[in-house]
Amino acid sequence: MAKKGLSSDSIIAEAVSLIEEIGYENFSLHTLAKKLGVKTASLYNYIENVAQVSMEIGKFAISQLCQAIELATKGVTDERLVLMQIATAYRKYVVQHPELYKVVINMPSIHGKEHVQVLLNLMSEALKPFSENQQDHLMKLRAYRSMIHGFVTLETSGYFEFAILTIDESYMGVIRTYVDTLQLAKNPLEEFG
């Protein structure tokens, strides 16, 4: 028998909270059921399996990340600043929600493709002014995504402990260098201040 007040949405909401509390690696349907005060078998009245729960959590996290990026870039017209704002919002979200980001990264690409595509479209649009053709655009998009993902993954894994530069200074330096390189390729005679 289903527990009163339990629904697919409430299960996913509790799963999000639990993953942020105990970590992605420690999450299971058993721990979720325990947190909800039900037997694991009861969850199957609302969900198919742990893969479905992970997919829904991934969709939720991507949606939050996209909202953060859209908010950060709203009204920004400077092409370079848009790229900086995307990178800043992305990092801020991942640092605040590292366990949810692990869910996103572990989403099977074939199942989460349409949701990840929304995120890719935001980044892709911002890079269009710097791209010469489709191949160049794809290369720049992959470089931008890899740079952001690589940095935030290392940061949330506890790297970058050197005191010479703050993590913020390092991140903004990396992103600024990339954006300046894009701008220089677009306008070779422009000088940077």
pLDDT digits (tens, 9 = 90+) for 180-190: 999 888 877 66
**What average pLDDT does the segment 122-137 reach?**
94
| pLDDT of residue 154 exceeding 90 | yes
**What average pLDDT does the segment 120-128 reach?**
95
> Is residue 24 domain-shared with residue 62, that is, in the same domain?
no
- pLDDT number for residue 1: 42
> Is residue 76 domain-shared with residue 157, that is, in the same domain?
yes
Q: Which residue has the higher pLDDT, 108 or 64?
A: 64
For all residues of the chain together, what is the average pLDDT?
91
Report CA-CA distances (Å) from 90 to 144, 145, 156: 12, 10, 13
Each residue of 82-120: pLDDT tens digit? Answer: 999 999 999 999 999 999 999 998 876 656 677 788 899
Exposed, middle or buried by CB within 10 Å (0-12, 13-18, 19+), for 191?
A: exposed
> Is residue 70 domain-shared with residue 108, that is, in the same domain?
yes
- pLDDT number for residue 64: 97
| Domain-located, residue 83 | yes
> Is residue 116 domain-shared with residue 38, that is, in the same domain?
no
Secondary structure class of 39 (helix, strand, coil)? coil
Predicted confidence band of residue 191 (pLDDT cuts 50, 70, 90):
low
CATH of the domain at 69: 1.10.357.10
> Is residue 60 domain-shared with residue 138, that is, in the same domain?
yes
* Domain span including residue 36: 8-43
Each residue of 23-60: pLDDT tens digit? Answer: 999 999 999 999 999 999 999 999 999 989 999 999 99
| Domain-located, residue 61 | yes
| Domain-located, residue 175 | yes
- Cα torsion 116, 119, 123, 128 to 10°: value is 70
